[in-house]
Amino acid sequence: MSSGTATHCPYCALQCAMTLSPAAKPGAGFPAADVPTPGLPTPGGPAASAAPLLEVAGREFPTNRGGLCRKGWTSAALLGHAGRVTEPLLKGSDGVHQPISWEQALMLVAAAVKDSWARHGHDSVGVFGSGGLTNEKAYQLGKFARLALRTSRIDYNGRFCMSSAAAAGNRAFGVDRGLPFPVEDLDSASVILLLGSNVAETMPPFVQHLQGARDAGGLIVVDPRRSATAAFTGNGGGIHLQPLPGTDLALILGISHVVVHEGLADTAFLEGRTNGHKAVLRSLNAFWPERVQSITGVPATLIRETARRLARSARLAKDEGRGGCYILSGRGVEQHVDGTDTATAAINLSLLLGLPGSARSGYGTLTGQGNGQGGREHGQKADQLPGYRKITDPAARTHMAKVWGVDESLIPGAGLPAVEFLKSLGQPDGVRCLFVHGANVAVSAPDAGAVIAGLRSLDFLVVCDFFMSETAAEADLVLPVAQWAEEEGTMTNLEGRVIRRRRALTPPPGVRTELWLMTRLAELLEAPSTFSDDPRTVFEELRLASAGGLADYSGIDYDMLDAGEAAYWPYPAGGKGTPRLFAEGFAHADGRAAMVAVTPSKRAQRSFASASEPESLALATGRLLEHYQSGAQTRRVAELSASQPEARLQLHPETAARRGIADGGLVTVSNERGEVQVRAEVSTAIRPDTVFLPFHFPGAGSANRLTEAATDPISGMPEFKTSRVWVRSAAAVPEPALAATAVSSHRKEES
């Protein structure tokens, strides 16, 4: 192990830079502040750590400028965790996992695959991947599924995160890159409209890039809760718009209506750089501010004020070079059955204002998972080949067949998006043998109870993980794989910037990398083409595979990244990187952006109507500062778990009073899909018609037992934000039973 290894945080897509060094004083603790950001309130730092193997130090990098959040500061705690899986584990007839050798494990997997092929066909084998995998692992996983497993059934948990934003970006711009500009560009903004994102808790170092807009009184946050981010608008920092969940699309259309009907649109930009704008202009006639107020609950005066501030800022930035105007969207407005149309409406608003491609303004989406950007570019999506190519495109198939050295007929067609994929588990014509890499679908997927039932109905389930997650607990075979600080590779952050992940620690004996696993299994399954367990070798092939695609990495190599060059894709061989994506045009053949008229779906309109039912409430789910995704990692860090030990349902005092619920009391939350029991957190930070529950907890506190598996027809994104629920007091439930289920279910596996 070398000292002072320069790498990046294992959590969100901000990919904060850090340095890992051997721990000089195990248990010495961590810094006392999350982010050094003067002027912005930030939560306190973590308590002392329990004997980490490595010490973490923040490193200077544009996204974090040396700061880390408490998840980053404590990230090394998991490397020496007592609950680590360090040898293959096979579930016996008694339901208990017992150690076996790697040779036995590989032979079992190969036999299970061949048996499934023989009895049910190639598509009976499926692969579920992750936006947390390195580019190398994501690329080789897609290749492994299609050539070694010979299946079209592959998708990943990014379908629950970025799919609507990606679909909208591809439709409007011809390409999907979360931020088509460096995050530092936000620093000079005078107005930032933040749609459905609580960055103060999900990626705290990001808030420093909001400081300029906040100082100018121009931070505008759309969120049904008075979240930590929305609180930054206080004391003259900006505006908080607090719509009913599921009405974001109507709100954006209302803001756009004002831009058009008050003559604030950039008509020269619309005529010169867009198609379809006339149809969009006509479609906005029905969304005047007073009507939108009746739908969303947001006052018409604030809708008009928001439009005017955006337009004023955009005009000053373009005409006088002062300030800047940005629109950023997050999961809050995208995790809906009309999420693609909502993201499209946000893009249309940005185009009406002439923001995309401007020197001091722009539009972007905030990628969530650590490699959420790279993870969706290189082949683990159901309909995708590397380089962000469509698997149905004949030219793309020809290109990949050449790179892989196989006949094109061996490459399967499009598979199923995640929700449909998971619904097929165990079905006669569905997936019967499943591989899971880096995902915890038993907690993170919608209608989680049905997903768990599907996992239990499989003929064979293989989970590759470093902890016994709730999904791994269901597995027939658990395969121990390397953690972030034990492997080499690359990641692509929310700016489309490719960065290096470096190994700082030798994995425990018995642990293998996923590249090694795929290579050995490909040999046993007599796969065509070649597979490698060397990350650099895999990246070199990825470069060839991506060449000429939208996400072209062919001009990037490890030496360049090790030298510190900022490598933004597309970066063609012999060319240069593209930090600002739309400066010269959009990715459609004519170089123009496509504007598409959108309107709330009939389902969304029914949701508006049901909101008036006195006993029914809208359930919004999300994340907390101390947790990342399903909590499979962060629930195991003592400092983080102590801060948020159990699931709490946030509800308004008026809502609580009508139901006889006290702050801290036990409540039951239910609907036709399931029931959870959690504690109440009574707060004026949420609307009376809405409740909020974090989705990180398993068992009795699992929010996704309640969420609906309905999906966006374009992106396949599930409806995570507007499930209807009933809430009642559950004071009769014994408190120890609730706490044991909600807090410590993962510890049962470790013991």
pLDDT in tens, 215-231: 999 999 999 999 999 99
Within this chain, do residues 447 and 334 fall inside the same structural domain, yes or no?
no
Q: Residue 452 has which token pair?
A: 């768990």
DSSP 686: B
Within this chain, do residues 305 and 439 fall inside the same structural domain, yes or no?
no
Residue 570 in domain: no
536 alpha-carbon distance from chain centroid: 26
Residue 657 in domain: yes
Within this chain, do residues 221 and 310 fall inside the same structural domain, yes or no?
yes
CA angle 390/455/476 to nearest 5° reads 110
CA angle 659/664/670 to nearest 5° reads 50
For the chain, the 3-state helix, strand and coil shares in percent, each to the nearest 5, are 40, 20, 45
What percent of the chain is modeled with pLDDT above 70?
92
The predicted structure's pLDDT at residue 28: 38
The secondary structure of 135-148, three-state, reads HHHHHHHHHHHHHH
Distance CA 542, CA 325 (A): 36
The predicted structure's pLDDT at residue 51: 60
Residue 39 confidence class, pLDDT cut points 50, 70, 90: very low
Helix and strand tally (H, E) in the chain?
25, 30
- Entry pTM: 0.92
pLDDT in tens, 580-612: 999 999 999 999 999 999 999 876 665 555 555
Burial class (CB in 10 A: 0-12, 13-18, 19+), 536: middle
Residue 547 in domain: no
> Residues 6 or more apart from 126 whose CB is under 8 A from it?
151, 153, 154, 421, 424, 425, 431, 433, 434, 435
The predicted structure's pLDDT at residue 40: 38
- What are the beta bridge partners of residue 461? 434
The predicted structure's pLDDT at residue 536: 98
Distance CA 27, CA 14 (A): 27
pLDDT in tens, 289-302: 999 999 999 999 99
691: pLDDT strictly greater than 50:
yes
The predicted structure's pLDDT at residue 607: 54
Within this chain, do residues 392 and 286 fall inside the same structural domain, yes or no?
no
Within this chain, do residues 197 and 308 fall inside the same structural domain, yes or no?
yes
What percent of the chain is modeled with pLDDT above 90?
87
Within this chain, do residues 615 and 656 fall inside the same structural domain, yes or no?
yes
For 53, half-sphere exposure in the C-beta direction (CA atoms, 13 angstrom radius) is 15
Give the sign of the dihedral formed by CA 589, CA 595, CA 601, CA 607. positive
The CATH number of whichever domain residue 657 belongs to comes to 2.40.40.20
Last residue of a domain, one of 32, 63, 82: 82
Within this chain, do residues 197 and 345 fall inside the same structural domain, yes or no?
yes
Residue 140 in domain: yes
- Lowest mean pLDDT: which of 114-118, 477-481, 720-724? 720-724
Residue 644 confidence class, pLDDT cut points 50, 70, 90: confident
Mean pLDDT over the full length of the chain: 91
Distance CA 184, CA 179 (A): 11
Q: How many folded domains does the chain comprise?
A: 4
Within this chain, do residues 723 and 615 fall inside the same structural domain, yes or no?
yes
Burial class (CB in 10 A: 0-12, 13-18, 19+), 638: middle
744: pLDDT strictly greater than 70:
no
Residue 64 in domain: yes
Within this chain, do residues 426 and 456 fall inside the same structural domain, yes or no?
yes
For 555, half-sphere exposure in the C-beta direction (CA atoms, 13 angstrom radius) is 19
Residue 108 in domain: yes
746: pLDDT strictly greater than 70:
no
Last residue of a domain, one of 532, 565, 590: 532
Distance CA 90, CA 49 (A): 32
Within this chain, do residues 345 and 481 fall inside the same structural domain, yes or no?
no
The predicted structure's pLDDT at residue 629: 86
Residues 74-96, mean pLDDT to the nearest whole number: 95
Give whole-number Cα distances, 418 to 20, 583, 673, 709, in Å.
35, 34, 19, 10
Residue 315 in domain: yes
Distance CA 194, CA 225 (A): 13
Within this chain, do residues 410 and 522 fall inside the same structural domain, yes or no?
yes
Within this chain, do residues 246 and 382 fall inside the same structural domain, yes or no?
no
99: pLDDT strictly greater than 60:
yes
The predicted structure's pLDDT at residue 3: 65
Residue 30 in domain: yes
Structural domain of residue 607, as residue ranges?
A: 602-750
The secondary structure of 497-540, three-state, reads EEEEECCCCCCCCCCECHHHHHHHHHHHCCCCCCCCCCHHHHHH
pLDDT in tens, 157-204: 999 988 999 999 999 999 999 999 999 999 999 999 999 999 999 999
The predicted structure's pLDDT at residue 615: 84
Residues 394-412, mean pLDDT to the nearest whole number: 98
Last residue of a domain, one of 82, 107, 126: 82
The predicted structure's pLDDT at residue 723: 92
- What are the beta bridge partners of residue 427? none
The predicted structure's pLDDT at residue 25: 62
The CATH number of whichever domain residue 241 belongs to comes to 3.40.228.10
749: pLDDT strictly greater than 90:
no
CA angle 63/591/338 to nearest 5° reads 65
Residues 548-573, mean pLDDT to the nearest whole number: 97
582 alpha-carbon distance from chain centroid: 24
